[in-house]
């Protein structure tokens, strides 16, 4: 398994669960000093990233891109793939497609989290899931052109009513034609929703493509009460070799959250 730490470049997500908020250079300097393998980026849009600048920083600091989030489309524009308005669903899909292309250029996958939306008002669950499936078929195959999976993240019940746990998510994804959509397992959401985190990870099996490494209170691992040993054991059992990416609050300070994360990473992962 490999270590990663998050950086948000989206001012509207200042209070969000991201360790660094002060630009790519600040994040790369800290991540490399602490010995992380990669950064995970939450940009306001695909075209907000200067590709040459990012490549220069990655080369200089010997870092990779673990993944790129798409949630700014929700945070800034309130767009989603399951919005009642077809024009907004279209904006959402193209916003995500551009981030898949950006991430693909850095050998990384894109993440569908809050941009999945929820079913509400006149949109039934059945309708929302049909729109979600159609978008995943398209975006999953689009990501395949970059030899990257497309990561679908189920969220806790306060953030979506589509999927909240690994097993129903896995069943839904197994029913798609594309085999290129993988599950992002965020340990914060799982701590809220799963009965048994290890069993859930085993049920996800080789569909698990990325992990958000967070404690029960969404702080760095070690600052909450999730029992992490069994979780890591389960990831080892399924042969997971991807990232444990710290999508956590910058508490008590960004550098301390990052330092605590890397210490926990070395404590649990050998
Ligand atoms: C949101 O709670 C989350 O976990 C993000 O990774 C999704 O955008
Ligand atoms: Mn997450």
- Is 194 a catalytic site residue? no
Atom of ligand 1 nearest to the CA of 184: 6
Does the global pTM surpass 0.95? yes
Domain span at 233: 2-268
Tell me which of 134, 153, 194, 263 is the catalytic residue: 153
**Taking the CA of residue 121 as centre, how many other CA atoms within 13 Å lie in the half-sphere pointing to its CB?**
7
Q: What is the mean pLDDT of residues 21-31?
A: 98
Instruction: Please write the tens of the pLDDT for every residue from 160-185.
Output: 999 999 999 999 999 999 999 999 99
Please give the pLDDT value at position 126.
98
Between CA 73 and CA 46 the distance in angstroms is 10
Bridge-based pairing of strands 2-8 and 110-112 is unpaired
- What pLDDT is attached to residue 218? 98
- The structural domain count of the chain equals 1
Distance CA 225, CA 105 (A): 37
**Chain segment 54-93, per-residue pLDDT in tens:** 999 999 999 999 999 999 999 999 999 999 999 999 999 9
Q: To the nearest whole number, what is the mean pLDDT of the chain?
A: 98
Report, as an integer, the average pLDDT of 123-145: 98
* The pLDDT of residue 249: 98
CA of 51 to the centre of ligand 1 (A): 24
Q: What is the pLDDT of residue 77?
A: 98
Predicted confidence band at 250 (pLDDT cuts at 50, 70, 90)?
A: very high
Which protein residues touch ligand 1 with a CB less than 6 Å away? 69, 71, 113-114, 153, 155, 159, 186, 212, 247
State what percent of residues in the chain have pLDDT above 90: 100
**Closest C-alpha to ligand 1, atom 3:** 113
Determine the residue of 109, 151, 153 to mutate for testing ligand 1's pocket, defined as the one with the most ligand atoms within 8 A of the Cβ atom.
153
198 is catalytic: no
What pLDDT is recorded for position 232? 98
Q: How confident is the model at residue 252 (pLDDT cuts 50, 70, 90)?
A: very high
pLDDT for 234: 98
Q: Any residues with CB less than 8 A from the CB of 116 and at least 6 apart, and which?
A: 80, 81, 82, 132, 152, 153, 155, 160, 162
- Mean predicted confidence (pLDDT) in 41-53: 98
Question: How high is the pLDDT of residue 68?
Answer: 99
Identify the band that residue 151 occupies on the pLDDT scale cut at 50, 70 and 90. Answer: very high
CATH number of the domain where residue 252 is located: 3.20.20.150
């Amino acid at each position: 398994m490999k270590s990663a730490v998050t950086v948000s470049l989206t001012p509207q997500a200042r209070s969000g669960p991201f360790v660094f908020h002060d630009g790519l250079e600040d994040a790369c300097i800290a991540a490399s000093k602490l010995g992380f393998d990669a950064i995970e980026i939450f940009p306001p849009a695909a075209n907000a990233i200067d590709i040459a600048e990012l490549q220069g920083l990655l080369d200089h600091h010997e870092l990779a891109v673990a993944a790129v989030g798409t949630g700014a489309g929700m945070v800034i524009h309130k767009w989603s793939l399951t919005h009642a308005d077809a024009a907004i669903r279209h904006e959402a899909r193209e916003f995500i497609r551009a981030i898949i292309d950006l991430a693909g250029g850095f050998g990384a996958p894109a993440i569908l989290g809050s941009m999945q939306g929820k079913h509400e008002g006149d949109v039934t669950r059945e309708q929302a899931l049909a729109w979600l499936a159609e978008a995943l078929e398209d975006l999953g195959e689009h990501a395949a052109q970059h030899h990257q999976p497309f990561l679908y993240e189920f969220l806790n019940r306060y953030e979506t009513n589509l999927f909240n746990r690994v097993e129903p998510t896995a069943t839904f994804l197994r029913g798609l034609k594309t085999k290129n959509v993988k599950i992002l397992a965020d340990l914060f959401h799982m701590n809220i929703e799963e009965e048994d985190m290890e069993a859930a990870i085993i049920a996800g099996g080789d569909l698990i493509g990325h992990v958000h490494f967070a404690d029960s209170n969404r702080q760095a691992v070690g600052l909450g009460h999730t029992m992490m040993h069994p979780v890591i054991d389960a990831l080892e059992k399924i042969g997971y070799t991807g990232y444990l990416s710290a999508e956590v609050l910058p508490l008590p300070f960004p550098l301390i959250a990052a330092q605590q994360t890397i210490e926990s990473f070395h404590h649990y992962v050998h």
